[in-house]
Amino acid sequence: MKTLTQKVHNFSAGPGILPQEVLQEAAEACINFDNLNLSLLEISHRSKNYVKVMDEARQIVKELFEVGDEYEVLYLGGGASLQFAMVPYNLLTENGYAAYLNTGVWASKAIKEASILGNVKVIASSEDKKFTYIPKNYTIPSDADYFHCTSNNTIYGTEMFEFPDSPVPMVCDMSSDIFSRKVDAKKFALIYAGAQKNMGPAGCTMVMVRKDILGKTGRKMLSMLDYRVHIKGESMYNTPPVFPVYVTLLTLRWLKRNGGISWIEERNKKKAEMLYQEIDRNTCFKGTVEKEDRSRMNVCFVTTKPEYEPLFDEWVKQYNISGIKGHRDVGGYRASLYNALPLESVEVLVEAMQEFEKKYAS
């Protein structure tokens, strides 16, 4: 019986689950990295042993996204939240404006930061229905400096499954669904993602930028906020987040080794379909967003009766289920089905929901 196990089923929204083999290899590197009899945590980032880590970590992103040398990949600190400022700092001109799609809390924060640096137009928003859907049929203005969107909204559980053909450089925050499915990366001028949700641990942020969009703002740039400076320094202008980059590399190797994006997309579809099917069937639970926009990464749902929630909170403990409480802003439940989460964990959650219904549904 699946419930009689000591395994913890980790549905945390971030930092999220990592593959067990990645954790093991990362732990070993903390003791003896690259047969140096030194810890990865204590060697120079300028050593040839670490430079090859950074080089591969940058290159594997381009391989998985199937893009060429017109793009550069960087690993930076500050989280995706720093990119809310770096993007407009590097792309927004003094007399121009940026177009933003507002689909949730993180998109709203990106809009707030960009508005400090210059002019911003929100061309579409789902705030009118508490971000429970993805806006459709909006027009991206052809005179904007760039268009910004957020591909997956972790708090509300919506995801963009189609991206527009933008007449201006398109920027996307892919923090919570990066490398979970096939996308045409060449449609984007810049993609950024905090690693801690779907590609690695907390502590580094990946930025992939098409070089031809840079250097056009006319402003004098601060070095640490200038993508061109980091590109010239091969993502090591200053000391990079050494360990998070290494674990991200291990995670991307794991993805590539097991079959790449097509393999993980098929697995992620199975996990999401299984859980949403149970939510729609079960009389104790219901989904919270429009069905066509349901995220495969962050499945949000609530109980059909308020009195069920404290009961279910206790119920899942016997199944060793962790991390399914909803974000504090919305409540309910959020099961994050990131790449490393095995199908078995979803099966256990579904079983827990089915048994809960048998016991408590009237």
Q: Mind listing the pLDDT tens digit of every residue in the chain (362 residues)?
A: 344 345 899 999 999 999 999 999 999 999 999 999 999 999 999 999 999 999 999 999 999 999 999 999 999 999 999 999 999 999 999 999 999 999 999 999 999 999 999 999 999 999 999 999 999 999 999 999 999 999 999 999 999 999 999 999 999 999 999 999 999 999 999 999 999 999 999 999 999 999 999 999 999 999 999 999 999 999 999 999 999 999 999 999 999 999 999 999 999 999 999 999 999 999 999 999 999 999 999 999 999 999 999 999 999 999 999 999 998 878 899 999 999 999 999 999 999 999 999 999 96
Selected catalytic residue, list 2, 7, 52, 106: 106
Q: Are residues 40 and 159 in the same domain?
A: yes
Amino acid type, 197: K
List beta partners, residue 101.
Answer: 124
- Out of 257, 284, 314, pick the residue that ends a domain: 257
Q: What is the CATH number of the domain that holds 276?
A: 3.90.1150.10
- Out of 225, 257, 289, pick the residue that ends a domain: 257
Alpha helix locations (H) across the chain? 20-31, 48-65, 79-91, 105-117, 227-232, 242-257, 260-281, 308-315, 343-360
Q: How far apart are CA 181 and CA 8, in angstroms?
A: 25
Is 173 a residue of the active site?
yes
Return the pLDDT at 1: 35
Return the pLDDT at 353: 98
Selected catalytic residue, list 197, 226, 271, 293: 197
Amino acid type, 359: K
Cis peptide, bond prior to residue 169, ω within 30 of zero:
no
> What's the whole-model pTM score?
0.96
Selected catalytic residue, list 145, 173, 177, 226: 173
Return the pLDDT at 119: 98
Q: Are residues 294 and 201 in the same domain?
A: no
Provide the domain limits for residue 190: 22-257
Return the pLDDT at 5: 44
Q: Is residue 11 part of a domain?
A: no
Cα 294–Cα 300–Cα 303 angle in degrees, nearest 5? 130
Q: Are residues 253 and 269 in the same domain?
A: no
| Chain CA centroid to CA 116, Å | 25
Is 232 a residue of the active site?
no
Contact 166, 142 (CB under 8 A): no
Return the pLDDT at 6: 55
- Out of 233, 257, 281, pick the residue that ends a domain: 257
Is 313 a residue of the active site?
no
Number of domains in the chain: 2
Q: Are residues 280 and 248 in the same domain?
A: no
SS3 for 36?
Answer: coil
